[in-house]
Amino acid sequence: MSGLRKRYRKQAEELASASRRLADLGFATSRGGNLSYRVGEDSVLITPTGFQKKEIRAADILVVRLDGKVEDARQGLEPTSEAPVHLQIMRRRPDVRGIIHAHPPVLTGFALAGIDILSRPIHPELTIELGPVISLDYTEPTSEALVRQFDSVARKGNAFLMKGHGVMICSPVGIQRALELLEMLEMMAFSAWVAMSVGKVSEIPGAEINKMEKIMRARKLPMPGGLDPAMTLRRLYSKR
């Protein structure tokens, strides 16, 4: 193993372990799903193309730059074909450190049916920890159009439901946190599905959202979408 991959060995172990856990959860079957982890200003660890997520080891992880150039990789390995989307989000969001794209069954069901309920404040933990889930129109996977789609939306939130496809989630903390948030979001989607099948899902009132924002400020939690210190939680939810 050469220089850069050796230097980031510990973080590559973390990324590979998140990849295997993603598969264990049933969120990425066959060769679907991909993960990235920013480890330096212009250094990103990313999963290779053509692997099942359950088989990925630290030695399979590539180091790429934000412009997509491969800096270090085991011979013959190429980055995931969704690397341009991960890197576009990271370019637009210098605060983001971990990104996961996956097809968790309930969230993907919502994406297939165009269910937008998770863009609304329906649960306090989801609202505080993740914020609104932004719904995106269908765009061909791995296409330039998909990359361009994130130009305008990357700063609107930390989770994106891609119509007819799956989910993209990011965290300013790291890859482990991105996975925790994805797990939480999938369970919330499951609860919302149950709620919709037995009754009506109601939204948390605006005054309560203001209280949540106070909690976030007290806990020094970053506003979803990052970067804009003037952004409020209510404004974030009012933007569709």
Contact positions vs Zn ion (CB under 5 A): 166
Nearer to Zn ion, 166 or 224 (CB): 166
**Residue 79 DSSP code:** B
Nearer to Zn ion, 162 or 175 (CB): 162
Nearest to 157 by CA among 233, 49, 70: 233
Nearer to Zn ion, 34 or 43 (CB): 34
Q: What is the CA radius of gyration of the chain?
A: 17
Contact of 83 with 91, CB cutoff 8 Å: no
Side chain identity, residue 144: E
> At its nearest, how many Å lie between Zn ion and the CB of residue 35?
12
Chain residue whose CB lies nearest Zn ion: 166
Contact of 123 with 149, CB cutoff 8 Å: no
> At its nearest, how many Å lie between Zn ion and the CB of residue 199?
32
**Residue 236 DSSP code:** H
> At its nearest, how many Å lie between Zn ion and the CB of residue 217?
35
Nearer to Zn ion, 98 or 166 (CB): 166
CA 107, 112, 116, 122 torsion: positive or negative? Answer: negative
For the beta carbon of residue 106, count every other beta carbon within 10 angstroms: 18
> At its nearest, how many Å lie between Zn ion and the CB of residue 30?
10
**How far apart, in whole angstroms, are the C-alpha atoms of residue 118 and residue 21?**
24
> At its nearest, how many Å lie between Zn ion and the CB of residue 57?
22
**How far apart, in whole angstroms, are the C-alpha atoms of residue 156 and residue 25?**
27
> At its nearest, how many Å lie between Zn ion and the CB of residue 121?
27
Nearer to Zn ion, 32 or 131 (CB): 32
Nearer to Zn ion, 104 or 157 (CB): 104
